[in-house]
């Protein structure tokens, strides 16, 4: 990434301390948390919410460091009421929970946990069981009580990854500590239990949400959420809302109106702070964001924050239950300095930035907030970006269909669990109707891949260069209990000097190699998948490395499975997506009439 201002080079750590015993925090390295905020050593903390856990219970103290004094390799002392001064070392772990996802077979209360574990040590990690620590109710979310241990025998090879998938009783929508018991000691995580579903949302949908033709178009695009709460004539009109439901994604306050059994299935997440890194000219500090979201901790509603600038968003890590970001790569305001990218054979451009930096930012956000899932605002059509500030002489003020697809695919291949289009206002959609088809195809492919995107974890990433050192492909994979989803994203596009757009070349012969996870080392089949279905490809596997020979451009998705019944599920979901599109056919004439 390239920026107008230099990065702050200080790297700190985000720390969760799991504390049993009757104690509350007072000082860290001799300073109160408030002093560490003021000095710039910490970005945020939750010590102000700390309570003394009764005997047998536990609580979690969290802080996000900001200065290098709180980075890996340092030690610190912590003391509190009921806790004598104790020294702790901030260490890079050898084992960690990289993803934990809660799924519901029906309703909003999850009854399945899927966890992925990294073993960066030299010996096999043996997992024996999982214990959840839960509060007695949402109002006492800080005090966590031990539940029974669920046996979960699993082995994770040295320098590799593994998973476990557990069926549970219905879980409460609140905060929990996850204790994964292993032969190397317990691995811990603290996060909100939330039902994970892959939602596709749109920005700026509220103005036309009472128009049936517009809602049909959104449904055709597989959009099932919007950045809305109450829209008169839509959300209060059961005949219209029940036919074209959009999940709610806004402030959702006061709680008593939204945190109800009837409303919970209709809610995507709480999001109301805007872009706190900018804050309309004055940044909203990480601690202020924590304080603004704190009232929702007693509720069942997951919170989200829109981040915008990778250069400093590490300070906001861990603040919300479902972090996401917005960044667009052509003709749009941006935090990074597009003219500083030396990517185009010596030519510098101001109308675009490398499309693959979407993937770089997704990976950054994912690792900073693990094991929580993340989402992404992807660039869609937008009737509004114009004027000289964008520069560069580009006529088209929205992404081309290929530019739109590439950005979304770089995000999907990094393992996001929801995608939001910016934006889907009626005026934007009518101005760029050539984006409808690629958005429909992406939506269909998401529905085909949905179980894998939810149950999976990022496994491999590789940048492939041509012999002359220029970009060729980026390879990424998402591994799940049932499949390995293998992505190849084309980075050999050019910045066309006549149209000032990014152009992808014709399909070219390519050979892709992917490391397969331990449980899918010898697949029965590997197929290429797209919105049109499944396609045969030439493939082989040797020593856990899959080699695929194909002729492609723009992107490719491959599915490696141990049982062909998994492929049947993909095709069934495709048929369901096609039926959904047909039931919500586009009425372009009515849309144009509304637009007038």
Tell me how long the chain is: 596
Closest CA relative to residue 389, chosen from 348, 333, 330: 333
Asked whether residue 1 is domain-assigned, the answer is no
**C-alpha dist (Å) from residue 51 to 61, 74, 108, 297, 532:** 10, 27, 29, 14, 55
Write phi, then psi, for 434 (nearest 5 degrees).
-70, -5
Question: Are 112 and 58 in a shared domain?
Answer: no
Model pLDDT, residue 387: 59
Closest CA relative to residue 413, chosen from 490, 472, 308, 299: 490
Question: Are 145 and 208 in a shared domain?
Answer: no
**C-alpha dist (Å) from residue 171 to 69, 263, 347, 371:** 39, 18, 55, 18
d(Cα 190, Cα 324) in Å, to the nearest integer?
19
Question: Are 355 and 415 in a shared domain?
Answer: yes
d(Cα 525, Cα 534) in Å, to the nearest integer?
11
Asked whether residue 6 is domain-assigned, the answer is no
Model pLDDT, residue 393: 83
Question: Are 139 and 62 in a shared domain?
Answer: no
SS3 content of the chain, % helix, strand, coil (to 5): 25, 35, 40
Question: Are 338 and 481 in a shared domain?
Answer: yes
Question: Are 138 and 238 in a shared domain?
Answer: no
Model pLDDT, residue 243: 97
365: enclosing H helix or E strand = helix 357-369
- Residue 495: count other Cβ atoms within 10 Å of its Cβ: 20
192, 208, 233 — which closes off a domain? 192
Asked whether residue 34 is domain-assigned, the answer is yes
Model pLDDT, residue 38: 97
Question: Are 308 and 204 in a shared domain?
Answer: yes
Q: Say if CB 512 and CB 540 are below 8 A apart.
A: no
Number of domains in the chain: 3
Question: Are 282 and 401 in a shared domain?
Answer: yes
Tokens of 456: 């999976």
Provide the total of helices (H) and of strands (E) in the chain, helices listed first.
11, 32
Closest CA relative to residue 534, chosen from 573, 489, 478, 476: 573
How much is the CA Rg of the chain, to the nearest whole Å? 24
Mapped onto helix, strand or coil, the DSSP state of residue 592 is helix
423: preceding bond cis by omega (within 30 degrees):
yes
Question: Are 220 and 158 in a shared domain?
Answer: no
103: enclosing H helix or E strand = strand 95-103
**C-alpha dist (Å) from residue 400 to 203, 331, 437, 446:** 19, 11, 12, 20
**C-alpha dist (Å) from residue 392 to 158, 236, 335, 387:** 50, 45, 17, 11
Sign of the C-alpha dihedral computed for residues 212, 217, 220 and 225 taken in this order = negative
Residue 262's contacts (CB-CB under 8 Å, 6 or more residues apart) are none
- In the sheet with 95-103, reading across from the earlier edge strand, the strands are 95-103, 112-119, 160-167
58, 89, 120 — which closes off a domain? 89
Asked whether residue 557 is domain-assigned, the answer is yes
Question: Are 185 and 208 in a shared domain?
Answer: no
Q: Say if CB 82 and CB 21 are below 8 A apart.
A: yes
Asked whether residue 104 is domain-assigned, the answer is yes
Write phi, then psi, for 471 (nearest 5 degrees).
-65, 145
Q: What is the CATH number of the domain that holds 397?
A: 3.20.20
Question: Are 413 and 544 in a shared domain?
Answer: yes
Residues of the chain with pLDDT under 50: 389
pTM over 0.85: yes
Asked whether residue 3 is domain-assigned, the answer is no
Closest CA relative to residue 192, chosen from 271, 266, 296: 296
Tokens of 454: 């939810």
Tokens of 41: 């050593």
215: enclosing H helix or E strand = helix 212-220
Asked whether residue 8 is domain-assigned, the answer is no
71, 89, 107 — which closes off a domain? 89
Sign of the C-alpha dihedral computed for residues 279, 420, 373 and 113 taken in this order = positive
Model pLDDT, residue 15: 97
- What's the domain range around 47? 14-89
Tokens of 124: 């096999």
Mapped onto helix, strand or coil, the DSSP state of residue 279 is helix
Question: Are 139 and 229 in a shared domain?
Answer: no
């Amino acid at each position: 990434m390239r920026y107008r201002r230099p990065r702050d080079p200080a790297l700190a750590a985000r720390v969760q301390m799991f504390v049993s015993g009757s104690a509350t925090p007072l000082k860290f390295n001799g300073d109160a948390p408030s002093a560490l905020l003021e000095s710039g050593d910490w970005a945020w903390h939750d010590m102000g919410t700390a309570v003394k856990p009764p005997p047998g219970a536990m609580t979690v103290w969290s802080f996000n460091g900001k200065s290098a004094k709180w980075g890996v390799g340092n030690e610190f002392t912590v003391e509190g009421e009921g806790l004598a001064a104790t020294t702790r070392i901030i260490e890079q772990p050898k084992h960690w929970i990289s993803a934990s996802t809660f799924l519901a077979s029906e309703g909003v209360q999850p009854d399945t946990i899927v966890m992925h574990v990294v073993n960066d040590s030299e010996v096999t990690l043996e997992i024996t069981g999982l214990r959840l620590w839960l509060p007695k109710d949402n109002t006492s979310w800080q005090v966590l009580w031990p539940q029974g241990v669920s046996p979960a025998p699993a082995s994770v090879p040295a320098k590799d990854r593994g998973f476990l998938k557990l069926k549970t009783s219905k879980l409460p929508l609140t905060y929990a500590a996850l204790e994964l018991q292993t032969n190397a000691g317990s691995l811990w995580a603290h996060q909100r239990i939330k039902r994970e579903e892959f939602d596709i949302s749109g920005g700026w949908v509220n103005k036309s949400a009472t128009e049936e033709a517009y809602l049909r178009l959104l449904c055709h695009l597989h959009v099932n959420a919007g950045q809305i709460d109450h829209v008169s004539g839509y959300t209060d009109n059961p005949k219209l809302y029940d036919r074209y439901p959009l999940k709610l994604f806004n402030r959702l306050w006061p709680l008593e109106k939204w945190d109800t059994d009837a409303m919970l299935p209709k809610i995507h997440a709480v999001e109301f702070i805007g872009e706190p890194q900018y804050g309309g000219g004055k940044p909203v500090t990480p601690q202020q964001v924590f304080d603004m979201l704190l009232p929702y901790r007693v509720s069942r509603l997951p919170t989200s924050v829109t981040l915008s600038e990778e250069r400093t968003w590490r300070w906001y890590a861990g603040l919300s239950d479902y972090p996401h970001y917005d960044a667009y790569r052509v003709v749009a305001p941006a935090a990074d300095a597009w003219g500083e990218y030396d990517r185009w054979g010596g030519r510098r451009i101001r109308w675009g930035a490398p499309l693959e930096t979407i993937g770089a930012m997704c990976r950054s956000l994912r690792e900073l907030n693990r094991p929580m899932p993340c989402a992404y605002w992807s660039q869609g059509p937008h009737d509004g970006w114009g004027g000289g500030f964008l520069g560069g002489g580009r006529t088209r003020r929205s992404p081309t269909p290929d530019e739109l697809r590439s950005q979304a695919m770089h995000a999907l291949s990094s393992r996001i669990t929801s995608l939001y289009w910016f934006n889907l206002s009626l005026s934007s959609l009518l101005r760029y109707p050539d984006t409808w088809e690629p958005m429909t195809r992406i939506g269909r492919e998401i529905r085909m891949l949905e179980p894998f995107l939810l149950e999976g974890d990022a496994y491999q990433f590789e940048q492939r260069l041509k012999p002359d050192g220029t970009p060729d492909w980026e390879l990424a994979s998402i591994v799940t209990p049932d499949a390995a989803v293998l992505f190849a994203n084309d980075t050999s596009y050019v910045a066309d000097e006549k149209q000032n757009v990014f152009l992808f070349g014709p399909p070219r012969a390519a050979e892709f190699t992917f490391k397969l996870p331990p449980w899918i080392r010898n697949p029965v089949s590997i197929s290429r998948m797209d919105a049109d279905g499944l396609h045969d490809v030439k493939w082989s596997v040797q020593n856990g490395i899959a080699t695929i020979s194909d002729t492609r451009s723009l992107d490719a998705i491959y599915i490696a499975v141990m049982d062909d019944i998994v492929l049947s599920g993909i095709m069934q979901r495709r048929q369901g997506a096609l039926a959904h599109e047909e039931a919500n056919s586009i009425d372009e004439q009515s849309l144009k009439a509304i637009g007038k």
